[in-house]
């Protein structure tokens, strides 16, 4: 049996990043991976501007609280004032450029109306007060995002803030998804005797799409060698990766392994983790399309996606970071059944910040995955008690 790290190393070594780059508009960038570092050509903010609604003054004119000044100009955001004459104030609004000569903004809450439309400054301003300096966010020429950044809301906003309308990103990874098993019935259909509903097909699609893959659902393949070979060859035609679930054990009805071997190459790994022992990896078809076969048990399938397929996909999509960062938290439950394999237990953070385990850790109990918000990574042969430290991996970092 391979360790988790050994299997992951093999997988990542074979994950060549996509090279094709597309220029995509801001509105369509969510979840894409930046192909080159993003460097700002502009300064943000472009000039000193007001952080408050209030009055721009020269501090030298307000040497004590209660000074009255005539209001010589009004500067709303989007317009440029003129130089502030000594002994005057400018009405100014948040985001408006600071007029030349002014060195502080007094927020309007510290001002009162004076005689003849003037203002009374009821505080002692200090130079720079309530002024956002030109370039305090971004200086021109700065790298604002490194290559390989996954673009989320904040990154897209940052790109917009420097005036970039399109960004170079890797093209989407094309993934074909196949589920296997004669017992599978599709949701919406009546369940025949001996049948179970196909759940892997739907959560795998969602997990792949969360990561920004372009998914082709190649359907549900019956347990036959000929059908499995035909489906795999067809999927290999126009995809970067084929993902299957089920059929990778070594039972007579597990046809994925011989099918991949017949039309490509395959390594079948037994990995010392629970859930999820079997994982198949190889290539199919003349073009050598990558193939990954996940176990059929729904929880094993879900967990092996997060532990293996996710880092593999991220690397192929050119992501900067592929591995989640574990946190040490305190257990709220006891784990009394040591296993001979490293266990990834479905768990969630309780209101008090401690981690509780789902009571049924069976590999067919998909409820555990919906209930949980992460996994507790427990070494082989280990138990723990409530109050002990545990290693927790959040689904937020994994999905």
Per-residue string for binding with ligand AMP, 30-69, x by CB under 6 A?
----------------------------------------
Radius of gyration, alpha carbons of the chain:
30
Q: How far is the CB of 47 from ligand AMP (least distance, A)?
A: 59
Per-residue string for binding with Mg ion, 134-173, x by CB under 5 A?
----------------------------------------
Q: How far is the CB of 209 from ligand AMP (least distance, A)?
A: 17
Q: How far is the CB of 334 from Mg ion (least distance, A)?
A: 34
Q: What does the angle CA 161 – CA 150 – CA 241 come to, to the nearest 5 degrees?
A: 145
Q: Applying CB under 6 A, does 228 fall inside the site for ligand AMP?
A: no
Q: What does the angle CA 242 – CA 247 – CA 248 come to, to the nearest 5 degrees?
A: 80
Per-residue string for binding with ligand AMP, 229-248, x by CB under 6 A?
----------------xxx-
Stretch in the footprint of ligand AMP (CB under 6 A) among 9-17, 31-39, 181-189, 267-275: 181-189
24-to-156, 167, 214, 215 alpha-carbon distances in Å: 11, 6, 15, 19
Cα–Cα dist 184/263, whole Å: 25
Stretch in the footprint of ligand AMP (CB under 6 A) among 55-63, 118-126, 180-188, 384-392: 180-188
Q: Which of 181, 264, 275, 318 contacts Mg ion by CB under 5 A?
A: 181
Q: How far is the CB of 320 from ligand AMP (least distance, A)?
A: 32
User: Which sign does the torsion angle of CA 18, 22, 28, 29 carry?
Assistant: positive
Q: How many other C-beta atoms can be found within 10 angstroms of the C-beta atom of residue 249?
A: 16
* Residue 46, token pair as written in the block: 């472009």
181 vs 311, beta carbon nearer ligand AMP = 181
Q: How far is the CB of 291 from ligand AMP (least distance, A)?
A: 15
Cα–Cα dist 243/280, whole Å: 10
Beta strand 174-180 with 214-221 is parallel
Using CB positions, name the residue nearest to ligand AMP.
Answer: 296
181 vs 282, beta carbon nearer Mg ion = 181
**Backbone φ and ψ of 202, nearest 5°:** -85, -40
The residues pairing with 284 across neighbouring beta strands, listed in sequence order, are 264, 289
Q: Applying CB under 6 A, does 199 fall inside the site for ligand AMP?
A: yes
Q: How far is the CB of 256 from Mg ion (least distance, A)?
A: 9
Q: Applying CB under 5 A, does 246 fall inside the site for Mg ion?
A: yes
What DSSP string describes 221-253?
Answer: E-S-HHHHHHHHHHHHHT-SEEEEES--SSSTT
Helix ranges (H only) for 289-390 are 298-304, 310-316, 367-371
State the number of binding residues for ligand AMP (CB under 6 A): 17
Q: How far is the CB of 197 from ligand AMP (least distance, A)?
A: 7
Q: How far is the CB of 378 from Mg ion (least distance, A)?
A: 28
Q: Which of 165, 196, 206, 370 contacts ligand AMP by CB under 6 A?
A: 196
Cα–Cα dist 131/103, whole Å: 8
- Find the binding residues for ligand AMP in span 278-307 (CB under 6 A): 295-298
Helix ranges (H only) for 128-223 are 153-161, 200-210
Q: Which of 94, 161, 224, 249 contacts ligand AMP by CB under 6 A?
A: 249
Stretch in the footprint of ligand AMP (CB under 6 A) among 20-28, 195-203, 225-233, 266-274: 195-203
Helix ranges (H only) for the chain are 4-13, 153-161, 200-210, 225-237, 256-263, 298-304, 310-316, 367-371, 395-398
Binding site for ligand AMP (CB under 6 A): 179, 181, 183-184, 196, 198-201, 245-247, 249, 295-298
Binding site for Mg ion (CB under 5 A): 181, 246-247, 296
């Amino acid at each position: 049996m391979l360790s988790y790290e050994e299997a992951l190393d093999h997988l990542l070594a074979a994950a060549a990043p996509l090279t094709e780059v597309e220029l995509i508009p801001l509105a369509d960038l969510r979840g894409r991976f930046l192909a080159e570092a993003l460097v700002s050509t502009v300064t943000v903010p472009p000039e000193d501007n007001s952080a408050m609604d209030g009055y721009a003054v020269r501090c030298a004119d307000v040497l004590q609280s209660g000074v009255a000044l005539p209001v010589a100009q009004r500067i709303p955001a989007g317009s440029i004032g003129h130089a502030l004459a000594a002994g005057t104030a400018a009405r100014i609004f948040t985001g408006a450029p600071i007029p030349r000569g002014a060195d502080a903004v007094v927020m309007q809450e510290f001002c009162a109306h004076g005689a003849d439309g003037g203002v009374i400054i009821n505080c002692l301003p200090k130079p720079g007060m309530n002024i956002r300096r030109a370039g305090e966010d971004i200086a021109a020429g700065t790298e604002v995002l490194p290559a390989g950044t996954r673009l989320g809301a904040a990154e897209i906003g940052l790109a917009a803030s420097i005036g970039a309308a399109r960004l170079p990103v890797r093209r989407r990874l094309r993934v074909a998804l196949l589920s296997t098993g004669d017992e599978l019935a599709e949701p919406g259909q009546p369940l025949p005797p001996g049948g179970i509903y196909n759940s892997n097909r739907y959560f795998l699609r969602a997990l792949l799409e969360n990561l920004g893959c372009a998914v082709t659902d190649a359907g549900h393949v019956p347990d036959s060698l000929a059908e499995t070979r035909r489906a795999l060859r067809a999927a290999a035609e126009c995809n970067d990766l084929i993902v299957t679930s089920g059929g990778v054990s070594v039972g007579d009805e597990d046809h994925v392994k011989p099918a991949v071997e017949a039309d490509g190459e395959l390594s079948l790994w037994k990995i010392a983790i629970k859930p999820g022992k079997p994982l198949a990896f190889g290539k199919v078809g003349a073009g050598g399309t990558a193939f990954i076969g996940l176990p059929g048990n729904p929880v094993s399938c879900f967990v092996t996606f997060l532990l293996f397929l996710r880092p593999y996909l991220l690397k192929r999509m050119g992501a900067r970071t592929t591995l989640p960062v574990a946190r040490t938290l305190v257990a709220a439950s006891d784990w009394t059944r040591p296993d001979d394999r490293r266990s990834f237990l479905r768990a969630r953070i309780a209101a008090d910040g401690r981690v509780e385990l789902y009571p049924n850790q069976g590999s067919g109990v998909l409820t555990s995955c919906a209930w949980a918000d992460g996994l507790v990574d427990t070494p082989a042969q280990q138990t723990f008690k409530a109050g002990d430290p545990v290693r927790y991996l959040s689904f937020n970092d994994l999905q």
